[in-house]
A and B are shown apart, each in its own frame.
Chain A
């Protein structure tokens, strides 16, 4: 029996789901632990390493930081200029700072962000984040975000 009471019914399914999750978690720990015991290892094992051995710290954390920075800047600066800056920075992060790579990064950043901005913002009329560098051309009825 489960009484459906108006004021608390929003918790019925979440609580059941959490219960199921706890049971499943216990089952996972038990079966995997038992399997380890059968192999002659201890029931609990120290978790293996999370990151790859010699993982690329610069690129992984750089991606995370740039991503967060990108989102912060979007609302402040506006889509087109922010994208231009961050697509360039992502490119530099992934391909390095040799002269050839830098030129490639700059070209990709400019072309891609202008293209996407015009295609989505103007042609398809999708709202993009706007900020201080967004310009509205009221006479022509469009905005470069």
Chain B
């Protein structure tokens, strides 16, 4: 017997996931997170392994599809392909669209594979270390996750932390499991909010419904100018484009993977950092931004590098690396499987399946995009105003099915759609809120366990060497945030002075 699950139905499901993911990724405004969230209810009918093939397919496809509109119409399909527009669009404009697309696809594939290797190597190590964690360290790790948000929300440090803790507060609504007492819930809502708001409606509301509100406000006027020169190429793609790009490929993939490991850091931060590094190390930095393959490689390798990276903390610590993996948590929860330090030892088959599925999805992504790219790139012309009504319907199905059929969860979907819309207006990062919301209940449990065991003394959080190490990380991330903020301000002041 194989140490993992694979079969015809899994391969088909993965292929479906990748293709749907590419479509979501390629349509500007629709993201990989949205794809995974919308299709999660479909997995209720599957076993966990098959569900993982679908969800990982959506994830890989969703991140990869973003390069198509980025290159052809200068609009990133997903936030993480923002840097792809810098060099991709100039290439398309001078008639090398197909070459640009293929460079992007190959880089995406390499990024995905490198991050897969990192996932396979580091998850067991991190899990082993995390096994030694008591509730004190687990509490501190979550606290660390919340401060990392701050370190990387550029210029938005305070708002980022605020959103994170606000998410924690909202997650605490409902009944506390130790003494079965309610808090922050009006009496008449108790029967419905025993365990607060469900993750799925909150998530789809924040990331899908709020988006629809935003675009409704803008009037849903999408005009996509047809680009003819996008694929009628004078420059042909060849693998010689990657000559001398080896270091760039690996460096960018690893940057993506590393940024993926840090909770709450999205693909856009990863690709911007990788692009900046590619520019720093480039022999011809002046060419980047004018249509150099080098920049494309950096951007696409890093945003696909994110996929494996974001799964590392999810599977080893139970902390999602980004908003898409946050949705994956609910897939595991639905099947009654706890992600965390014991995950690999208790579910070796599932763990192997994840690696195989991720490999398969990357290969399918490559095959589905590389050869038929001319036809696939037509996706960007699908009118979104026709898709959104259907998306709304699927979101409602998903929310309703969360707890096996409650209309309350559908109302929660609408409420968080409005909340997400308002967040966007007052510049509160919804992804930080979500990380806080997901980790809030654990944060509370570990905190209460820790201080109960110590008889109420807060010194327990400073009592063990592993704890000190995590404190060090927390202090470092806050210090970095402050330093980065100050640097940003200086730069802005210097620009203003000029």
Query: Do A and B originate from a single complex?
Result: yes
- Partner-B contacts on A (CB < 8 A): 1-4, 6-7, 9-14, 17-18, 20-21, 24-25, 27-28, 31, 50-52, 55-56, 59-60, 62-64, 67-68, 70-71, 74-75, 79, 83, 86-87, 90-91, 94-95, 104, 108-109, 112-113, 116, 120, 123-129
Say yes or no: A74 contacts B390, CB within 8 Å. Answer: no
Partner among A2, A74, A87, A95 whose Cβ is within 8 Å of the Cβ of B407: A74
Q: A6-B179, A63-B216 are in contact. List 4 more A-B contacts (CB 8 A).
A: A12-B448, A18-B169, A59-B216, A112-B390
Cα–Cα distance between A18 and B288 once the two chains are bound (Å): 47
Instruction: Give, as a whole number of angstroms, the nearest-CB distance from A1 to chain B.
Output: 5
Decide: A1 near B389, CB < 8 A? Known: A9-B179, A127-B400: no
Say yes or no: B41 contacts A71, CB within 8 Å. Answer: no
How many A-B pairs fall under 8 Å by CB?
Answer: 163
Say yes or no: B401 contacts A126, CB within 8 Å. Answer: yes
Say yes or no: B219 contacts A4, CB within 8 Å. Answer: no
Residues from chain A with a CB closer than 8 A to the CB of B401 are 120, 126-128
Residues from chain A with a CB closer than 8 A to the CB of B396 are 70-71, 74, 83
Say yes or no: B397 contacts A116, CB within 8 Å. Answer: yes
24 interchain pairs, CB-CB under 8 A: A4-B451, A4-B452, A9-B448, A10-B176, A13-B443, A13-B447, A18-B169, A21-B166, A21-B169, A24-B158, A56-B218, A60-B216, A62-B216, A70-B396, A71-B410, A71-B411, A83-B393, A87-B389, A87-B392, A94-B216, A94-B385, A95-B386, A108-B390, A124-B42
Say yes or no: B213 contacts A63, CB within 8 Å. Answer: yes
Partner among B217, B410, B452 whose Cβ is within 8 Å of the Cβ of A60: B217
Instruction: Give, as a whole number of angstroms, the nearest-CB distance from B147 to chain A.
Output: 12
Residues from chain B with a CB closer than 8 A to the CB of A75 are 407
Cα–Cα distance between A139 and B52 once the two chains are bound (Å): 34
Cα–Cα distance between A10 and B178 once the two chains are bound (Å): 8
- Partner-A contacts on B (CB < 8 A): 41-42, 44-45, 158-159, 161-162, 165-166, 168-169, 172, 175-176, 178-179, 181-184, 209, 212-213, 216-220, 383, 385-386, 388-390, 392-394, 396-397, 400-401, 404-405, 407, 410-411, 414, 417-418, 425, 443-444, 447-448, 451-452, 456-458
Decide: A87 near B448, CB < 8 A? Known: A13-B443, A17-B172: no
In the complex, what residue of chain A is closest to B170 when comparing beta carbons? Answer: A17
Cα–Cα distance between A17 and B161 once the two chains are bound (Å): 12
Instruction: Give, as a whole number of angstroms, the nearest-CB distance from A56 to chain B.
Output: 4
Say yes or no: A113 contacts B161, CB within 8 Å. Answer: no
Residues from chain B with a CB closer than 8 A to the CB of A21 are 162, 165-166, 169
Interface-centre pick from A27, A50, A94 (highest chain B CB count, 10 A): A94
Instruction: Give, as a whole number of angstroms, the nearest-CB distance from B27 to chain A.
Output: 15
Cα–Cα distance between A28 and B426 once the two chains are bound (Å): 12
Cα–Cα distance between A77 and B102 once the two chains are bound (Å): 49
Cα–Cα distance between A86 and B218 once the two chains are bound (Å): 21
Say yes or no: A55 contacts B218, CB within 8 Å. Answer: yes
Residues from chain A with a CB closer than 8 A to the CB of B411 are 71
Residues from chain B with a CB closer than 8 A to the CB of A129 are 400, 405, 407, 410
Say yes or no: B218 contacts A24, CB within 8 Å. Answer: no
Residues from chain B with a CB closer than 8 A to the CB of A128 are 397, 400-401, 405
Decide: A17 near B169, CB < 8 A? Known: A60-B213, A90-B389, A128-B400: yes
Partner among B159, B183, B386, B407 whose Cβ is within 8 Å of the Cβ of A11: B183
Cα–Cα distance between A50 and B457 once the two chains are bound (Å): 46
Instruction: Give, as a whole number of angstroms, the nearest-CB distance from B317 to chain A.
Output: 20
Cα–Cα distance between A7 and B183 once the two chains are bound (Å): 12
In the complex, what residue of chain B is closest to A21 when comparing beta carbons? Answer: B165
Decide: A120 near B448, CB < 8 A? Known: A1-B456, A24-B158, A125-B45: no
Say yes or no: A24 contacts B161, CB within 8 Å. Answer: yes
Residues from chain A with a CB closer than 8 A to the CB of B456 are 1-4
Cα–Cα distance between A121 and B417 once the two chains are bound (Å): 25
Say yes or no: B162 contacts A74, CB within 8 Å. Answer: no
Instruction: Give, as a whole number of angstroms, the nearest-CB distance from A112 to chain B.
Output: 5
Instruction: Give, as a whole number of angstroms, the nearest-CB distance from B224 to chain A.
Output: 15
Say yes or no: A108 contacts B213, CB within 8 Å. Answer: no
In the complex, what residue of chain B is closest to A84 when comparing beta carbons? Answer: B393
